[in-house]
Structure 1
Amino acid sequence: MAMVWGQGELFAIASKEEIQQTEFYLGKYKSMTLFMTDFENYEREMKQVAIDGEVARRIDQEDLHADKTANAVILIEKQKWVYNQYRKYKLMIDRAHSQILDDDAKEAIDIRFIKGYSRKETIMFMRRGVAHSTVDRRIDDGIVSIANTLKLSGFFEEISEKF
């Protein structure tokens, strides 16, 4: 795995684009975990729905004739692939979250992204008397910390290889 930061640098510093990507994936974290839980608990039922349901009838709307069974297999394989990608991303994000040194930033990230609350709810859940700008700063600091750890772990190279 090729690391992209400068030669001789001991600590990776994420670029603005990588920080934006980190915020994007953190924003998707809750939906990823919900999909993973659903897939783990109801994989058999999801397969049956793919076979029986109309989703598999036509994967491509341009198809005049569709092989429902073949399309169901494609749909099931896509769901497995998405599950495995989400599992990998979740593991890397969880590890990066655990390495945030500032407890206040870690708490803000936990409430906002890991638990999936809105910005307003995050501000309300933080300790009493903390200004919204302070909460925003803690969230930003947490995102940067996670982005730096993800860069060090090769997360951005991983996601750029897939797409």
Structure 2
Amino acid sequence: MVRKLLFSSSLLLIICLHAQAQVTNADFHFLDRMEGKWLMRAKHSTFRENWVKVNDDVWQGTSWRIAEKDSVKQDEMKLLRTPEGLFYTIAAVKDPQTGQPLRFKIRVLKTVGFVAENLDSPYPQKITYRWKDDRHMDAHFEGKQEKTFSEIILQYIRE
């Protein structure tokens, strides 16, 4: 509960910072903190996110769930800089018309993290990444699934 309250207060800070300035393509460099291998140990498995910078306009991420000697690729993510703005995509969340990953518009991007939204997404509708420091990163996915609100918080440590 304390972690959730701390995360909520940090999210409030990000939202307040958003009121002062809009996200621009020049802000893309704030995502440099993504680079690396991130790890979260759970009771029966380990979650991992690996992020690499592909070029000046694309970050590529891969998430894994590891249980004992088995590993399962969970998803592939991208952070994109386009003429239309900055976007986050998840391979598993597809546009039903095109079959391509839905784009989540990055609405807030600061040195402490980012918030991406797509209110038309089935789930999640909001994605937040927050860096507590250079070794700790939280990934937060939230939204409605049918009539139920759901959220997932992953607390990673840099390897």
TM (normalized to structure 2)? 0.29
Q: If each structure's helix is expressed as a fraction of its own residues, which one has the higher value?
A: 1
Q: If each structure's strand is expressed as a fraction of its own residues, which one has the higher value?
A: 2
TM (normalized to structure 1)? 0.28
